[in-house]
Structure formats: structure tokens, C-alpha cells
Copies of this chain bind each other. A is one copy, B any other.
Amino acid sequence: MENIREAFGKFLDYQLRLSNLYHAMNLLHWDMSTIMPPKDAERRSEVVGFMSQEAFRIETDKDFIELTDSLFEVRDGLSDQEKAMVEKQKKEQDFKKKIPEAEYLEYSILVSRGEKIWEDARNADDYEAFRPTLEKIVQFNRKIADYIGWEETRYDALLDLYEPGMKVSDIDKVFSEVRDGLVSILDRIRAKGVVIDDSFLHDKFDKRLQEEYNRDLAKRLGFDFEAGVMAVSAHPFTTNFGNKDVRITTRYDENDLMMSVYSTIHEAGHAIYEQNIPDELAKTNIGGGVSMGIHESQSRFYENIIGRSRGFIGSELPRLAERFPNLSDVSPDDFHKAVNKVMPSLIRIEADELTYSLHIIIRYEIEKAFINGEVDFNELPKLWSDKYREYLGIEPSNFREGVLQDVHWAGGMIGYFPSYALGNLYGAQMLYKGIMRDLPDYDEIVASGDLTRVTSWLKDNIHTHGGTYKPSVLIGKVTGEALSAEYFLRYIEDKYSRLYGI
């Protein structure tokens, strides 16, 4: 091949073109969810479709593929960052090569219709209306996994799409420890019979004041409004166009103060990650978070480990009470208890911090089973109920609160769910084996309300690498250990044993 630097320069040109297109595409999407008037929906989809095709044209450009292949051959002569870019590009190109185009098109149509079918089925609480589509999507995912290829088990191929390098053999062990640990803590809480009062969180809270507080909070957490936007949408999300324009949304409910607050903290966690990606990676394919799991580790770290800690509550409550006098008689301890109230529930997105991972593990176990061909889809709701009863002690009385509650499978996202629980594990491991090691006064920092040093730690240890290292490598570098369930369980045990006196 020609000079490696020259070749890599050309490779970066392709990356820049793709980054330009994705910048525009993400803005088209953002605008769709926040501002676009309804009559433009159809036309907008057409424009987004066109832009995707343009990106596809570049991604499948013969010269680009050859260039990537030859750089892949000599990747050991590249820096860590450059190597990661080439490997990621190669992986995506191989993915496209391995899956017959006609089949992938058929699958794309299936999942794009799937979301609508799922939505209708959920609204009608009619599992049977969704079942045939779900079966087809699962069958397709089995085929896709086989096209991609796998060594130990088929599900590994899908997992790798969201959490590169992660395998069932890694997860099974930690998830079963987490599951057993959480179930046992939950049992002790239930046995204790304490009921936490959180009614004061469901009083009336002016939306405008909520927004004011949330904007101030996001800023104090480290969200840079000079490189970001905060808006309102029906479902909160984070999107970004590079590292200089990162956008979060929140929604406000007059009768649920902490819904918007924890949504803001969560999305700010994602956003701060993206804002801290260094400029030299920003216009490349590693110019974002490394994986869904690591991304969730950041959002959940801010939301739960910081946001639901006694220190943070102690520092925030006075600010809240300033705006909402109906909170002025609430003690920090009571507030802290209220935002950590454990209550096994059926809906994942409303779950408390303790039971949340159980919701995920249930989905993981079910996904693994149906990808292994072990599930009769007529029996899926029963399987779902059995697991909820076993782990959480409750079971759904309808499909809407059961197997039809999440959009993921309808959209073809199988292998995605584990990321949420992995985020919890990564976060706790970073806390004990990284942050507390390097910042011995961590508790005081959180209680002080000025999180600058914590955010700096995350920036220097996690954010600054963008997508350079696979999750397992990154976790190893930062904590000196492989992924473990130990720290998350220790964190949960420590927190809830105090809260519930168990």
C-alpha cells in the first residue's frame, strides 16, 4: 500500500464526510422530536431516508472499503485512536458484506413497520397482534447473528453490536450474582415491612419553576450550555452533532417533581460524556461514547450514585425548597428516603434503583432463550410472568404492563437491554476502584454541591478516550480489574441496609 499516513488521511476524509451527514441527520431527527410541525412528518421522513442513503453510499464505497481493508492490515502501525477507527469501520463494513443486501432491506422494512404494529398492539393490549411480527424479528436476528458469526453462543453476535467484545460467558456470571444479590436484599426489605412516605414529591410543582431549577442543575452538574441545548420532548433523550452541540430533553409533570429532575440528571450524564470528547476524535467514528453500556454508566452514575445519594440531597434540597415552599418542612433524610423508595413494580422505566436491574436481567434471560430457539412465542407472556413473580414477587395482569411494555424488540434491538444493567455495574466499579481511590474526599465533594472534581475524573478517565477502547479494556484500564458484580452489590447493600435499617 501507499504511504500509511497518506492513506490514513484519506480515511479521515471519508470519516469527515460521514460525520457531516450524521450531523445533518441527527439535527433532522432532533427537530422532528422537538419542533417540527406535524404536517411535515411524511416529507421529513423522506429527507431523512435520502440522507441515510447518502451515508450508505459512502459507507459502501468500493474505494473506502479497500482503503479500510489495507489500513486494517497495517493497523499495528497506527496509534490506539487510529486503530480503533479502522477496526470499527472494518467491523461495520464486514457486517454489511456478510448480510445479503436484499435480506437486510427486508429486515429494515420489518422493524420499521414493527414499531407501529407494536404500538397498536400495546394500545389494544393485544399480544397476539404483535406475536407474529416479534417471531419474525427474532428469527431474523438469529439469521443475522449467524451471518455475523459467533464462537460460543449465537447471542454473542448480537451483544457485540451494542457492547463490543462482551460475551454471554462474561455476563451470565455477573448477572446471576446481581440477580441473586438483589433478590435477597429485596426480600430483607420486604420482611422489614417499612413503608417510606414519598407523598410530598407528588404535590403541585409549577412547571416553569421546575424548568428553571433543572436548567440551573444541569449547569452545575457540568453541562455546558455554550455547547449544548436543553429542550422539552414527549420522551426525554440526548442527541448530539459532534462535541460542540449536545442536546438533552426533559419532560415536566406538575405532580411529579423528581421525574424531570432525575431525567435531567440522567440525560446530562450522557451529554457531559459527549461534550468531553476531545476535538481530535469529534469528526470520526470514535467521536462518541464507546458503547451503550459505558454511556449508561455515565448517565446512571449521575442519576443514581450521585443524584440519589444523601450528600447530594443534602446540598440540593435547600435549592429546591427555595423554589418550592411546599418542600420546606421536609428533612433531608426523609427526602433521601423518598427518592430511594423501593417498590417492586411492573414497568421498567418507572423502577427504583434497586429493582431496575432485575427488570433488565429478566429481559436478558428471555432474549437469550429466544435467540437460542428455546421459547414458544405463545408462551412468552407466561415466561415473562413467571420471572417477574420469581424475582420481583409480582406479575402483570395485562400485556401492556408485561411483555408489550418496551419498544426495543419491535425495533429489532435484541442484545441491547444488558447495556442498562452493565451501566450500573460499570458505574459502581468506577466508583469504588477509581473515583474513591483517586478522590478520597469523594463523599465531601458530593455533599458540597460542587461536582467539578468528579466530572473532571470522569472526563480524564472515561470521556477523553471516546470510542478508542472497548468497554472491557477501558474498565480494565480505569479500575485495574475485569467487570465484576461485587461493587454494584456492595454499593446497593451499603445504601439500602442503611436506608431500610436491614
Report A's interface with B, CB cutoff 8 A: 17, 20, 23-24, 27-28, 31, 35-40, 42-44, 46-47, 50-51, 54, 224-229, 241-242, 244-245, 282-283
Contact = CB atoms under 8 A, between A and B. Distances in A.
A354 to B, nearest CB: 37
Given A20-B46, A20-B47, A24-B24, A40 B241 contact: yes
A35 B244 contact: no
A228 to B, nearest CB: 6
Contact of A39 (B17, B28, B36, B245): B245
Contact of A27 (B20, B27, B38, B226): B27
Contacts of A44: 23, 241, 245
Contacts of A38: 226
A30 to B, nearest CB: 8
Contacts of A24: 24, 27-28, 47, 51
Given A226-B37, A229-B37, A245-B36, A43 B27 contact: no
Contact of A35 (B28, B46, B229): B229
A244 B51 CA distance: 19
A425 B126 CA distance: 63
A37 B227 contact: yes
Which of A27, A224, A228 has the most chain B CB atoms inside 10 A of its CB? A27
Given A37-B228, A37-B229, A229-B35, A245 B28 contact: no
A101 B369 CA distance: 62
B225 A20 contact: no
A227 B39 contact: yes
A23 B47 contact: yes
